[in-house]
Amino acid sequence: YLTALEQLVAGPDAGVHDRGLLSEAEYRFQVHELAGPVRELPDRRFHELFEAQAAARPAETAVVHAGRSWTYGELNARANRIAHALLARDLGPEAVVAVVTERNLEWLASVIGILKAGAAYLPVEPHAPVDRMARTLARSGCR
């Protein structure tokens, strides 16, 4: 608040958008130092990076949830089955695929399968009111 008050006293005619709550030093610290080092991002999509991991480590544990675990190979195989099922139903690029479920192993395989098919993933909260779900699905263009 001190920074905001100092700015108000220093420039009482300045607009709201010309003011900030952070001093210049605080701003630099938050934007540059807390963000960590700049790293190059891979030039591949998530599912491509995942497939590379699955190929390199098929027998290693990829995910654990509620006492169950799948290896990279198992998760990749399930995601591939989902992707093929979606593509067989013409739900590939440009399609929106909703997933209405709790977050669990099957949910993860579904999301990866949707991405592998080239479709867009639409998360739908399973405990949301039915009318909200219906509006979400209608607006999204889900088929």
Backbone angles phi, psi at 96, to 5 degrees: -110, 125
pTM exceeds 0.85: no
Q: What is the SS3 assignment for the chain?
A: CHHHHHHHHHCCCCCHHHCCCCCHHHHHHHHHHCCCCCCCCCCCCHHHHHHHHHHHCCCCEEEEECCEEEEHHHHHHHHHHHHHHHHHCCCCCCCEEEEECCCCHHHHHHHHHHHHHCCEEEEECCCCCHHHHHHHHHHHCCC
Low-confidence stretches of the chain (pLDDT < 70) are 1, 4, 18-19
Q: What is d(CA 112, CA 97) in angstroms, rounded to the nearest whole number?
A: 12
φ, ψ of residue 120 to 5 degrees: the values are: -100, 135
Cite the residue boundaries of each domain of the chain with CATH code 3.40.50.980. Answer: 46-140
Give me the pLDDT at residue 59, please: 98
Q: Tell me if 105 sits within 8 A of 68, measured CB to CB.
A: yes
The pLDDT assigned to 57 comes to: 98
Class of domain 46-140: alpha beta
How far apart are the C-alpha atoms of 91 and 94, rounded to whole Å?
8
The angle at the Cα of 121, spanning 95 to 72, to the nearest 5 degrees, equals: 120
Predicted pLDDT at 22: 75
